[in-house]
Amino acid sequence: MSTKPKLYYFDGRGKMESIRWLLAAAGVEFEEEFLETRDQYEKLLQGGSLLFQQVPMVEMDGMKMVQTRAILSYIAAKYNLYGKDLKERALIDMYVGGTEDLMGFILMFPFLSAEDKEKQRALIVQKATSRYFPVYEKVLKDHGQDFLVGNSFSWADVHLLEAILMVEEKKSDVLSGFPQLQAFKARISSIPAIKKFLEPGSQRKPVPDDKYVETVRRVLRMYYDVKAN
């Protein structure tokens, strides 16, 4: 029996992508079972695996874990990516919370209409450059360290790099006014485990396409239109 964590989700980013990022950053190999049919989803529901009737779900260390933040917290703590004490952990939680908020504007982007996508794209860039990126730029400048917390590589750094790359997909020069974040991006991207994950052929998922959207809608029976924020 494999001891690798097993991820249950769609063959696409969604809420599972940050989990893939964190496992990859920790150097942990993992397996995936992609949900492609409603029957697969119903089987997980009927088997009691989905505590709150939703994915992501990660099978790891004898547990079937749901709730994205709980899964991420467990992985970060297990692989020493969660700071050295409670104060550092609180900072990591704060910074991760900010990047999660920013990612939230992007998560449902693929499900929007063409008109709403243009509005949402502008909103994502506006939020990133006026509310979120200035915070991380100041943190890096003020303490003059390579990483966000305690001068050690942590979950906060992984999450911020993921968020930066997601926003750059909406506007390629979005970091033009943030020199600290430009340097941060280059630094974190060069860490061997991260560099490997960013290379073609890794388990990192591409920008969601129409096939991904159609699969999610079919499996979850999403028959309504998603509205822009």
Kindly report the CATH number that applies to the domain delimited by 86-191. 1.20.1050.10
Q: What is the mean pLDDT of the chain?
A: 95
Q: pTM for the whole thing?
A: 0.95
The tokens 């749901």 sit on which residue?
66
Are 56 and 9 in contact by the 8 Å Cβ rule? The answer is yes
Q: Does residue 228 have a pLDDT over 80?
A: no
Q: Does residue 210 have a pLDDT over 90?
A: yes
Sheet strands (E) in 10-134: 31-34, 57-60, 63-66
Output the CA–CA distances (angstroms, integers) from residue 46 to 42, 51, 188, 202, in the order listed. 6, 11, 41, 32
* pLDDT tens string 131-148: 999 999 999 999 999 999
Q: What is the mean pLDDT of residues 203-225?
A: 89
* pLDDT tens string 86-116: 999 999 999 999 999 999 999 999 999 999 9
pLDDT for the residue 223? 63
Determine how many CB atoms are found less than 10 A away from the CB of residue 138: 11
* Phi-psi map region of 123: left, alpha, beta (phi>0 left; psi -120 to 50 alpha): alpha
What tokens were used for 180? Answer: 């600290």
* pLDDT tens string 19-70: 999 999 999 999 999 999 999 999 999 999 999 989 999 999 999 999 999 9
Report percent pLDDT > 90 for the chain: 93
What is the dihedral angle through the alpha carbons of 215, 216, 218, 222, rounded to the nearest 10 degrees?
A: -150
Q: Does residue 225 have a pLDDT over 80?
A: no
Determine how many CB atoms are found less than 10 A away from the CB of residue 190: 10
Are 22 and 81 in contact by the 8 Å Cβ rule? The answer is yes
Q: Is 88 helix (H, G, I), strand (E, B) or coil?
A: helix
Gap between the Cα atoms of 185 and 187, Å rounded:
5
Domain 6-79+198-220, CATH among 3.10.20.30, 3.40.50.300, 3.40.30.10, 1.20.58.220: 3.40.30.10
Q: How far apart are the first and last CA of the chain?
A: 44
pLDDT for the residue 226? 54
Confidence class of residue 3 from pLDDT cuts 50, 70 and 90?
A: confident
Type of residue numbered 42: E
Q: What is the DSSP letter of 109?
A: G
pLDDT for the residue 61? 96
Q: Does residue 217 have a pLDDT over 80?
A: yes
Domain parsing of the chain, residue ranges = 6-79+198-220, 86-191
Confidence class of residue 222 from pLDDT cuts 50, 70 and 90?
A: confident
Q: What is the mean pLDDT of residues 143-168?
A: 96
Enumerate residues 6+ apart whose C-beta is below 8 A from 224: none
Q: Does residue 1 have a pLDDT over 90?
A: no
Q: What is the mean pLDDT of residues 201-227?
A: 87
Gap between the Cα atoms of 200 and 203, Å rounded:
9
Q: What is the mean pLDDT of residues 122-131?
A: 97
Residues in the chain: 229
Type of residue numbered 208: P
